[in-house]
Amino acid sequence: MDRMNFLSFLLLCLTSVANGNKANKHKPWIETEYQGIVMENDNTVLLNPPLFALDKDAPLHYAGEICGFRVHNGPSGSGSVQFEAVVLDRSTGEGLVRSKEPLDCESQREHSFTIQAYDCGEGPDGVNSKKSHKATVHVRVNDVNEFSPVFVERRYEASVPEGRLFDRIVRVEALDADCSPQYSQICFYDIITPNVPFAIDNDGNIKNTEPLDSKRQRVHTFWVTAFDCGKNRAQADAQVVVTVKPSCKPGWIGWTKRVEYTPGSGSIPLFPSLHLETCEETVWNIQATVELQTGHIGKGCDRDSYSDRSVRRLCGAVRGEVDLLPPPSPAANWTSSLPTLPSSDSSLVFSFNGSNHVAVVPDSVVSALSGDHFTLQLWMRRGGANIQPATAQTRGNRKEEETIVCSTVKNDDSFSHYSLSVHGCRLSLFYWPDVSAARPVKFLWKLEQVCDSEWHHLSLSVQFPSVTLYVDGVTFDPALIHDNGAIPNPAPRQRMFIGACWEPEEKQKEILNNTIPEGKDSVKYVGGYHGLLSGVTVRPGSVEPHSVVECLYACREGLDFGDLETLGSGMKVHVNPSQSVLVLEGDDIESFNRAVQQVTYRNSLRFATPGVRPLKLTTSLRCFNEESCLSLKQLEGYLVVLQPDAPQISLSGVGPHLARPAPEFEGPRGVPLFPELRIVCSLSHAVNTAAQGMEGGALMSDAVAHTLDGCEVQPLGEELNPEREELLVDMDVVRERGLEIINTTAYIAITGAESISVYEDVLRSVRYRLAKGSARFERRFRLSCSEMNGRYTSNELTLEVNFLHSLDSLYHPSHLLASQQQFLHPSHHAGELSGHTLPNPHRNSVVPGAATVIIMVCVGFLVVMVILGIFRIRSIHRRGEGARVGAKEGSSQWDDSALTIIVNPMESYESRMGICADNEGEGEEDEEVAESPDDASDDQRIIIKKEGRDGNARRY
């Protein structure tokens, strides 16, 4: 038993000895997290807490010692590359963390990695070494003030109005590249230029220390610098330029009061440099209204300067209208008592004073206006111009209707009645389709145009029961009133008044002389119209198309917008139908300024009406603070349309003489007066020849396509005798071209807007015809043409017609005449009809008509003097030769004997025109005086007496 106990004890001792020899029993221990700092110019990391590794095996050799530290990648994966850890003391476990290369705070300011300690193991070979847990190390790189501040801009500019103090004029800014707040922040700025009225704060805001004066100094220039918190100064200073503006006055800048327009130049901008100054006031809506005043130009604006009838034709209106207010003439005398006013568009304007100015249209005209389908058109200006103010009685009766047209017409077996009236600002059409059966209907419109005292175009198309009203080309719908109370039926009688309406039949009396005398009880009428009327027409049949109505009213001038594609977002443009008012609206000042500069004036007329057109610009602003919002005054200016280059209408290719045998004029077709007429229209304009190296200026003339509206052929002297002579025109050509003609004994007038070629064709067809035996010595005609209702006229072309008479038609041939003809030398015929057109002349067969009386007186002397003539043949021959030579030299010498006159009946009628018709009773001395050399030289001159233009009024 004892032996067994001993063996057990020995085994336990051996086991204890074996366990006692194992030395490295514990792992090293370190902190779980370290915070480190390292400077940019150093590589040693200062850790908190310090790096120490502990081992419980101490103080055993090897096992209780720390042999090293291992660095592992951190979250960024780069810590192990840039840092390392070394053991300073193996027994104490002290370690050091350092960077392998210099660190840059600006590239990476913080680093993270893990570290692990391991002991020396059981022996010098490090067998069975143990590792500690991994601890996290955070290293922050401390910044060094190595960078200086740098300004964002090298030059700062600002502009301020004078006389005010500002909290901030401009802000300068500098940046520092250092990574730390201490060195990267700009601590303060400084103005290094001395004696400037400006100050700067630490944020870089510059303000003025005193009010600035633009007159004393317009531009201030100074320099500023910046310092960071490490007191490093900026590498380069910044320049600041402050411009002092004069006192800001809100409003439009660049307004030009006078704008000139040259006719034919298309569209021009009215405000090319205009812009709005709000003086930094914030606005959210801008509205500008441009108004062009053209009410004094024609009928509200510049239109085609043709007659109303010509304009209707150019617009494609259906023919057949009846002019109710035609120009006074023998054929249309019912407007002769109405006063007229001048009009710049050459149209005839009639004035009505509401009392005694009334036109009574004849029954012959009214009879052509039957039917319940018709179109009534007129130009109206309520109140008118140059009209005496209404009397007190009239003003007291303002509630009465003013009748423009009052008419009763016959429709087959019945009568219809209608009247067009104005009442205040209302227009009414009273229509009675059948005065004996149907009840009347009243169509009523409330229109501002009726009472604004401006020209307006009214087109009323009646296709009962449908009625369409166009005012200035715009359609207006009526309100229908069927019950008009007790209205007396109009008498079944055909009649029409312009400017008033008659009283009911039981109260009406006969109207004398187509007028209503003022203040006479014998004449009664109601509803006198007070205003101006022009172009009042009625066309029975189908109604007028809308396109034609728009064309009749269309203005050729007005406001427009240059290019809608350039209109900015949020901008709106509105133009009224007459293009006299243009409204711009927007919310952005810059876009609004560009839009205003696109407003243009256009005039499509080649020969625009010259004169002044007033301009107005009204602006309305809306701000966020309505109390302090800006208020801009209205701007006024004017547009001047310059005088256009007048066209020169030239008539040529005729005369001045037309000589034909009398039988040709007596033919059934007569003789054409202007067979080779040429009409040319040209424009002369100044040319700057100085640019071409020439002195002075020059006029250039360019042929242009033109439209004439009237030509007139007028006999000079006595009017045509309808029993003996007449002027003929090819009516087929006239009708085909839609022209109108008036053919009287005093003139023949062709009217209508047409091209030059058409007028040439018509005038070339004008022929002059005589009755048998009505030929006289001469007849003179004058031709002239005009454009735009006589605004431009041509030259006056005078044609002298001469009738060539045969000797056989004067007396019977005899042996005396035959013998007399033998004495005539052929040289006498060489120039007998020089300057005249004589087709197929027969030698010795014609004599001038003026010599007929002289020849008959001389026949009796021929019997006595025939013998003397035989002996003087040779002398006559010599005188003939001398006369021909003298004619070439311009000083003819004629024989002073009476025989020369008697035996030379073929002498040219030009020389005979110098002899008075009453010479037949005078002696040889008178004949010698008439045939003196001075008179002979006058034979080659044609003197035409030009009739004064003012002596004869135009008829078209």
> What are the backbone dihedrals phi and psi of residue 240, each rounded to the nearest 5 degrees, phi first?
-120, 130
- Among the residue ranges 17-21, 482-486, 667-671, 715-719, the one predicted with the least confidence is 17-21
**Could you tell me how many residues make up the chain?**
956
H/E segment holding residue 10: helix 2-20
pLDDT exceeds 90 at position 617: yes
850 pLDDT band, cuts 50/70/90, is very low
Give the pLDDT of residue 7. Answer: 62
d(CA 324, CA 350): 11
**Dihedral (Cα; 292, 295, 296, 298), 10-degree rounding:** 110
Mean pLDDT score, 779-806 = 85
User: Could you read off the pLDDT of 155-165 as tens digits, one per residue?
Assistant: 999 988 888 89
pLDDT at site 224: 96
Question: What pLDDT shows up at residue 59?
Answer: 84
- Residue 619 reports pLDDT greater than 70: yes
Taking only the tens place, the pLDDT of each residue in 248-306 is 788 898 999 999 999 888 899 999 999 888 877 788 889 999 999 887 777 777 776 66
* pLDDT of 196 over the 90 cut: yes
Residue owning tokens 């087109």: 459
Q: In the prediction, which pLDDT does 832 show?
A: 35
User: pLDDT at position 384, please?
Assistant: 58
Indicate if the pLDDT at residue 824 is higher than 60.
no
What tens digit of pLDDT does each residue of 857-907 get?
Answer: 566 666 556 666 665 565 554 444 444 444 334 433 333 333 333 334 334
Facing residues of 466 across strands? 463
Report the distance separating Cα 145 and Cα 139, nearest Å.
Answer: 19
Least confident of 201-210, 788-797, 896-905: 896-905
Rounded distance between C-alpha atoms, residue 439 and residue 482, angstroms: 8
Answer yes or no: is pLDDT of 545 > 80.
no
Q: What pLDDT is recorded for position 316?
A: 65
State how far the Cα of 180 lies from the Cα of 144, in Å rounded to an integer: 8
Q: How are beta strands 414-423 and 251-253 bridged, if at all?
A: unpaired
**In this predicted model, which residue has the larger pLDDT, 327 or 625?**
327
Q: In this model, does residue 924 exceed pLDDT 50?
A: no
Domains of the chain: 29-142 (2.60.40.60), 150-245 (2.60.40.60), 251-296+556-641 (2.60.40), 308-385+400-503+524-553 (2.60.120.200), 647-683+705-804 (2.60.40)
CA separation for the pair 113, 78 (Å, rounded): 8
pLDDT tens, 675-688?
899 999 887 655 44
Please, what is the Cα angle at 951 between 950 and 956, to 5 degrees? Answer: 75
Q: What's the pLDDT score for residue 939?
A: 36
Q: State pLDDT tens for residues 52-106.
A: 988 888 888 888 888 889 888 765 555 557 888 888 888 888 888 888 888 878 7
Residue-wise pLDDT tens digits, 213-242: 988 999 999 999 999 888 889 989 999 999
Mean pLDDT of 149-154: 92
Q: Are the C-beta atoms of 930 and 911 separated by less than 8 Å?
A: no
User: With a threshold of 0.75, does the pTM exceed it?
Assistant: no
Q: Which pLDDT belongs to residue 665? A: 86
- Give pLDDT tens digits for 582-609: 999 988 888 889 899 999 999 888 888 8
Cα distance between residue 475 and residue 702, in whole Å = 43
User: Residue 754: helix, strand or coil by DSSP?
Assistant: strand
Residue type, 379: W
* pLDDT tens sequence across 886-900: 433 443 333 333 333
- Give me the percent of the chain exceeding a pLDDT of 90: 16
